[in-house]
């Protein structure tokens, strides 16, 4: 009996040791690797360089200490993606390549293998192996019926064609990508880039509206899309003004104020709406737009709007209000860049007002002579206004500038009160190629 109990005890001990060994060799590594992986995924979501490097360190730890776990292949894949975010394409290429070689090749499923091949094809194109990369992408298309994966491949083809300047084929690729998967954010934004390249701004803006409506609350691209949308919409409105298409400029700038009313550029947009109405000789609407400039929390255009409001009153023959407006300018901006002009125009407004008063007191013949003199004076004043409207000293003093790295830098902090009070010649530079290249 004692021998039997002893044998049972020994068997239990051996089983316990075996279970502990199995746990230590298989279960514990898998659990610890999953914990490290989960933490790395949270860290990398922050998006900054330090966080990405921290995540790479975690992936490396999994690869080194837990090479036989199911998390190891995923660590290679995610590490490659992290290197792509840092622009280290050679290192990304190496990490992806390991997944197609033994022993890792036998541990990945078909979906991951196809994903890796697509990523390698993209990197080959980035490394100027364009033809080889394109051929691989087309080969993948013929080997899968997975619509989501096919949509991704067409997106990559669209980027390749757009990078090579083939706008028509790029547009076709992005459209097919959207047909395959209507939720493909890269394809939607890629098509918007094509529309910008081809001058179809309304189509691009519609795509941005669609993206922000359905993906804006969840997509990591949202800040870049909003920044690009802001710059492109504003630049389009300013370009329309410079081209003399004032009604078009009014429509675009009103759209800008509606969508980006909290932006620093909203005051500028309202000012250019006023300028467009002024150019159309719709002085009441111009004055209303200038007043809206003053209501904004950003005051870089207040000085320009104030002097132009005085001009609008003068040109609409409200000389008393014009004189008052020029006096307000001199009070608010005693050393302003238009201080001398404001003083001169106040005197001219007062003179015109006196003409009106004298006309009311004199016989009809003398009144007509005074009226003729007054009209000649107003024509002279209008000519002075036109001469008073010099071009902007630097083209980028009014125009928001794009960034060179996925649009992630904020809009240029140039002073937007330094431009003169009128339109400028030239066409603003609009660079949109970086919207989806994140």
Q: Say how far residue 234 (Cα) sits from the centre of its chain.
A: 11
User: Is 79 found in the same domain as 35?
Assistant: yes
Neighbours of 59 (CB within 10 A): 27
Domain residues for 35?
A: 31-96
Whether 136 maps to a domain, the answer reads yes
Neighbours of 241 (CB within 10 A): 22
Residue 149, domain CATH: 1.25.40.10
User: Is 185 found in the same domain as 120?
Assistant: yes
Q: Which of the listed residues 96, 131, 151 is the one where a domain comes to its end? A: 96
Q: Which of the listed residues 40, 63, 96 is the one where a domain comes to its end? A: 96
Whether 80 maps to a domain, the answer reads yes
What is the domain count for the chain? 2
User: Is 163 found in the same domain as 118?
Assistant: yes
Task: Tell me the C-alpha distance between 417 and 432, whole Å.
Answer: 25
Whether 261 maps to a domain, the answer reads no
* pLDDT bracket for residue 433 (50, 70, 90): very low
User: Sign of the C-alpha dihedral, residues 114, 407, 165, 243?
Assistant: positive
Average pLDDT over residues 336-342: 92
Q: For 273-316, write each residue's pLDDT tens digit.
A: 999 999 999 999 999 999 999 988 888 899 999 999 999 999 99
Q: Which of the listed residues 172, 194, 219 is the one where a domain comes to its end? A: 219
Q: CB burial class (10 A; 0-12, 13-18, 19+) of residue 415?
A: exposed
Whether 253 maps to a domain, the answer reads no
Residue 80, domain CATH: 1.25.40
DSSP 108: S
Angle between helices 302-315 and 283-294 (to 10 degrees): 160
User: What pLDDT was estimated at residue 404?
Assistant: 36
DSSP 411: S
**pLDDT above 90 for 377:** no
Q: For 412-432, write each residue's pLDDT tens digit.
A: 434 344 444 443 333 333 333
Q: For 98-136, write each residue's pLDDT tens digit.
A: 899 888 888 888 889 888 988 888 887 766 656 777 887
User: What pLDDT was estimated at residue 83?
Assistant: 84
23 versus 423: which is more confidently predicted?
Answer: 23
Instruction: Give the helix/strand (H/E) hosting 38.
Output: helix 28-44
Contacts of 349 (CB under 8 A, 6+ apart): 310, 313, 314, 319, 320, 322, 323, 326
Whether 55 maps to a domain, the answer reads yes
């Amino acid at each position: 009996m004692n021998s039997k109990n002893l044998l049972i005890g020994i068997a239990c001990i051996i089983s316990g040791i075996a279970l502990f060994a199995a746990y230590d060799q298989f279960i514990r590594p898998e659990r610890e690797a999953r914990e490290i992986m989960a933490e790395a995924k949270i860290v990398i979501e922050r998006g900054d360089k330090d966080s990405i490097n921290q995540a790479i360190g975690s992936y490396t730890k999994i690869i080194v200490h837990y090479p036989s776990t199911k998390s190891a292949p995923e660590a290679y894949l995610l590490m490659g993606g992290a290197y792509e975010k840092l622009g280290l394409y050679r290192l990304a290429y190496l990490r992806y390549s390991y997944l197609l070689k033994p022993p890792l090749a036998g541990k990945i499923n078909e979906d991951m293998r196809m994903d890796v091949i697509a990523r390698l094809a993209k990197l080959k194109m980035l490394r100027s192996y364009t033809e080889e990369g394109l051929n691989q992408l087309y080969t993948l298309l013929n080997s899968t019926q997975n619509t989501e994966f096919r949509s991704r491949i067409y997106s990559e083809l669209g980027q390749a064609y757009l990078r090579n300047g083939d706008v028509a084929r790029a547009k076709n690729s992005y459209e097919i990508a959207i047909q395959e998967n209507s939720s493909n954010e890269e394809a939607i934004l890629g098509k918007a880039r094509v529309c910008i390249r081809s001058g179809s701004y309304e189509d691009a803006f519609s795509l941005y509206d669609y993206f922000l409506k359905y993906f804006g609350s969840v997509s990591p691209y949202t800040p870049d899309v909003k920044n690009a949308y802001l710059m492109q919409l504003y630049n389009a409105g300013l370009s329309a003004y410079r081209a003399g298409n004032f009604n078009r400029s009014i429509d675009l700038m009103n759209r800008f104020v509606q969508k980006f009313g909290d932006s620093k550029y909203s005051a500028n947009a309202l000012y250019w709406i006023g300028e467009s109405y002024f150019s159309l000789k719709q002085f009441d609407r111009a004055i209303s737009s200038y007043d809206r400039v003053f209501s904004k929390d950003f005051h870089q255009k207040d000085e320009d709007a104030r002097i132009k409001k005085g001009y609008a009153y003068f040109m609409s023959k409200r000389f008393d209000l014009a004189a008052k407006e020029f006096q307000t300018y001199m009070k608010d901006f005693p050393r302003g860049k238009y201080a001398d002009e404001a003083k001169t125009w106040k005197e001219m407004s007062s003179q015109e007002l006196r003409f009106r008063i004298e006309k009311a007191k004199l016989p009809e013949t003398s009144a007509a002579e005074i009226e003729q003199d007054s009209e000649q004076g107003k024509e002279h004043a209008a000519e002075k206004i036109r001469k008073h409207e010099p071009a902007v000293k630097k083209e980028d003093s009014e125009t928001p500038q794009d960034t060179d790295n996925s649009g992630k830098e904020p809009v240029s902090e140039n002073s937007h009160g330094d431009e003169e009070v009128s339109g400028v010649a030239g066409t603003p530079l609009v660079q949109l190629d970086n919207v989806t290249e994140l």
